[in-house]
């Protein structure tokens, strides 16, 4: 009797989890079946290094796309969302969100971009699982940021860090002190929860 009850409980749990995290499951199945699905936004070879002088001279528009070919991500970057939590969550319906208190990707300093790892099936936006596969990125993987005026920046993944938002973590302080133009992608972790966060740190090539 106990075994039967346990079996029913496990089946029910799996079904409920699958329904609530269907976007994440779909992203994983798509990744397993097709591998890389997002094309590189750079049609011509990008120079191996972009001088800091050029970066400072150029004005970056408020229209950009984040592309991570290795995990099939292609999402608009939403600028100007501010720091209000409700406004950030609202804007996550339309893409991934640049944290306004940080420099834009391609500029000096640490640029922060936020995205959902999973969302309920009834979630309104089309980007509820934009960062579902963030944990699959490895050192050396490429991240592209292409602006509306065709300026393109290529980042190379340096490391991934899983941390608790309720505790101080010296690894975060180290990332914040980065002296190179750095892109930081942040999402909830594990997928389907907000218990922890995952960060992917990437440096401009």
What is the predicted pLDDT for the residue at 118? 83
Residue 93 has pLDDT above 50, yes or no: yes
| The Cα angle at residue 173 between residues 170 and 174, in degrees rounded to 5 | 90
Give residue 138's domain range: 2-204
Give me Rg for the CA atoms of the chain: 18
Q: Is there a contact between 130 and 72 (Cβ–Cβ < 8 Å)? A: no
Structurally, the chain folds into a number of domains equal to: 1
β-pair partners for 112 = 184
Q: What is the pLDDT of residue 192?
A: 77
Is pLDDT above 50 for 54? no
Residue 166's CATH number:
2.40.260.10
Q: Is the pLDDT of residue 44 over 70?
A: no
Q: Give the number of residues written for the chain.
A: 205
Q: Which residue has the higher pLDDT, 16 or 200?
A: 200
Average pLDDT over residues 114-134: 87
What are the pLDDT digits (tens) for 162-188? 999 889 999 999 999 888 899 999 999
């Amino acid at each position: 009797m106990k075994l039967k009850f346990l079996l029913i409980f496990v089946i029910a749990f799996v079904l409920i989890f699958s329904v609530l995290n269907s976007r994440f499951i779909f992203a994983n199945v798509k990744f397993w079946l097709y591998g890389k699905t997002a094309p590189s936004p750079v049609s011509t070879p990008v120079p191996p290094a972009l001088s800091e002088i050029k970066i400072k001279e150029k004005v970056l528009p408020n229209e950009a796309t984040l592309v991570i070919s290795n995990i099939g991500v292609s999402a608009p970057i939403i600028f100007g969302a501010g720091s209000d939590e409700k406004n950030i969550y609202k804007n996550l319906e339309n893409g991934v969100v640049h944290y306004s208190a940080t420099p834009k990707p391609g500029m000096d300093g640490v640029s922060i971009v936020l995205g959902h790892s999973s969302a309920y099936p009834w979630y309104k936006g089309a980007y509820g699982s934009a960062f579902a596969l963030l944990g699959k990125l490895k050192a050396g993987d490429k991240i592209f940021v292409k602006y509306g005026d065709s300026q393109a920046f290529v980042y190379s993944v340096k490391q991934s860090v899983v941390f608790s938002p309720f505790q101080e973590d010296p690894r975060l302080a180290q990332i914040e002190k980065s002296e190179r133009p750095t892109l930081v992608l942040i999402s909830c972790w594990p997928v389907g929860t907000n218990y922890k966060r995952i960060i992917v740190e990437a440096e401009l090539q």
